[in-house]
Amino acid sequence: MTSIHPQQIFAKSILLADGWQENVLLEHDSNGVITKIKPQTEKPANFSGKVIDGAVIPGMVNNHSHAFQWAMAGLGEVSGEASGSSKDSFWTWRKAMYGFVENIEPEDLNHIASALYMQMLKAGYTSVGEFHYLHHDKNAGFYENPAEMSMQIFEAGKNSGIDVTLLPVFYRYSGFGAQAPNDGQKRFIHSQDDYGHLLEQVHLLSSEYNQSYGIAPHSLRAVDKSDLEFAVKALRSHSETAPVHIHIAEQTKEVDDCVSHYGQRPVEWLYDNLSPDDKWCLIHATHLTDGEVKSIAESKAVVSICTTTEANLGDGFFPVLDYKAQGGRWSVGSDSHISVNAIEELRWLEYQQRLREHSRTVLVDGANSSTGHWLWTQAAQGGAQSLQQPVGQIGVGYKANLVELNLNSMTFVGKSQQQLLDAFIFNHQFVNDAIASVWVRGQKVVEHGEHASQGIIEQNFKTSLGRLQTS
């Protein structure tokens, strides 16, 4: 509902869809949605709104998160085998993850996710897609409230102030051919009926918390065709536009196993059987043929590129340059949260392509264009599509999710307005130094590197991690 008295923000310098503008008056309603933009105007007399002195850019979207994994970031950097003789990989890392997740209680998930989302906000992320698969208690039983863990994610969003799109994971099997789940997966598993009931509850919770949701069939190895069809149908009974996210073609083993079982590669099989469209988001997709790149681009689906996690796990490179040439849509996520830094995701993405092409400024619009501008705006807009949310740019009908750059930072000394995003992504090393404030739905949640609720969030996180380390 629109407020009778719209709230106002006066930005001295702001990046709108058509470029940088000076002295811009924004008005937004009670839900933080922008209702009016007046560029090149004078600040009204007796102005009672908020003034932003630095340069304002759209908040970034983190469209792929497994919140609980942030608490174990750095714990998987040892050989996956006791002997050290075996080649380490995603599959050995996964064993460590299963061991860590065993003891997480609902309160712990709340504390971990709240702290993670606080860090995201401080790094310039204002929206998150939570690919959430920790559902059950330690014995694989349902909590008294089967959506208990989903509720804790929404609570963490409330505690931190970030925009959350909850993507409850549908997970049935441990591998292709309906292989029985292993013990490490016991807290993730749902039947079709149970997942349908969970989705109904998430639908209600999303309204209660004023947040959004979609679905996340985990992967082609974790669900079969009937499960995928069921999940999409169940989602569409609640919403025609809510997003569908799925891990796909992440590891070479997954590709090989899919070919062995289905006789097709993962993306090939998915497009022949489910026909993904612009409401779908394919996570990773690091192992593709030229034909698969073309299929994704033509479908208008979004690919989520999680550069730091893909590098950490040794999974591979997404062929973003080939994909870009075909108009493909993409976004970024921090996934396992080995890094919670939008700048790192984008910087590494560009550098991967430079190494591949033996060239510089690869991901640009054309001659004399800004690499940083293209990376930031494309990732934010692709992320918005992947969550089906009005975010990712600053305009009428979009949420006032804003990042204020600190023009007093040494990062920006001597830089023109057109060079700010290049300096932001490629020059500085300390996120909080370059970011003056962060706003979600028109409300300031971070100022001078500090979150409004930082003290209690940090204390709760330390309490939970202390317990988990001794359990």
Q: What is the pLDDT of residues 131-183, one digit of tens each?
A: 999 999 999 999 999 999 999 999 999 999 999 999 999 999 999 999 999 99
CA distance 392 to 389: 8
CA distance 375 to 108: 35
Q: Which residue has the higher pLDDT, 6 or 33?
A: 33
CA distance 401 to 399: 6
401-455, pLDDT tens digit by residue?
999 999 999 999 999 999 999 999 999 776 679 999 999 999 999 999 999 999 9
CA dihedral 195, 196, 197, 202 (to 10 degrees): 80
DSSP code string of 175-190: BTTTBPPPGGGTTT--
Q: 3-class SS at 377?
A: helix
Phi, psi of 78 (to 5 degrees): -130, 165
How much is the pLDDT for 285?
97
Burial of 294 (0-12, 13-18, 19+ CB in 10 A): middle
Contact between 124 and 342 (Cβ < 8 Å) = yes
Residue 86 binned pLDDT confidence (cut-offs 50, 70, 90): low
On average, the pLDDT of the chain sits at: 93
CA distance 284 to 220: 13
Contact between 440 and 163 (Cβ < 8 Å) = yes
Phi, psi of 239 (to 5 degrees): -155, 135
CA triplet 28, 34, 37: central angle to 5 degrees?
100
CA triplet 35, 41, 46: central angle to 5 degrees?
85
How much is the pLDDT for 1?
34
Q: 3-class SS at 34?
A: strand
Q: Which residue has the higher pLDDT, 377 or 183?
A: 377
CA distance 162 to 127: 6
Tell me: pLDDT of 80 over 80.
Answer: no
- List the catalytic residues: 284, 335
CA distance 242 to 280: 9
Q: 3-class SS at 172?
A: coil
Contact between 172 and 227 (Cβ < 8 Å) = yes
The token duo for 119 is 């860090």
Query: Which domains does the chain show, CATH number per domain?
Result: 7-57+394-455 (2.30.40.10)
How much is the pLDDT for 100?
80
CA distance 404 to 392: 14
How far is C-alpha 421 from the chain's CA centre?
20
Alpha helices in 314-419 (DSSP H): 320-325, 342-357, 371-387
CA distance 93 to 76: 6
How much is the pLDDT for 44?
86
Residue 87 binned pLDDT confidence (cut-offs 50, 70, 90): low
- In three-state form (DSSP H/G/I as H, E/B as E, the rest C), the secondary structure along 91-145 is HHHHHHHHHHHCCCCHHHHHHHHHHHHHHHHHCCEEEEEEEECCCCCCCCCCCCC
Residue type, 18: D
Which of 81-85, 256-260, 285-289, 466-470 comes out lowest in average pLDDT? 81-85
CA distance 259 to 454: 48
CA dihedral 382, 385, 389, 393 (to 10 degrees): 40
**Quick one: which H or E segment has residue 14?**
strand 7-16
Which of 34-48, 93-107, 367-381 comes out lowest in average pLDDT? 93-107
Which of 202-211, 251-260, 462-471 comes out lowest in average pLDDT? 462-471
Contact between 141 and 108 (Cβ < 8 Å) = no
Residues in CB range of 414: below 8 A, 6 or more apart: none
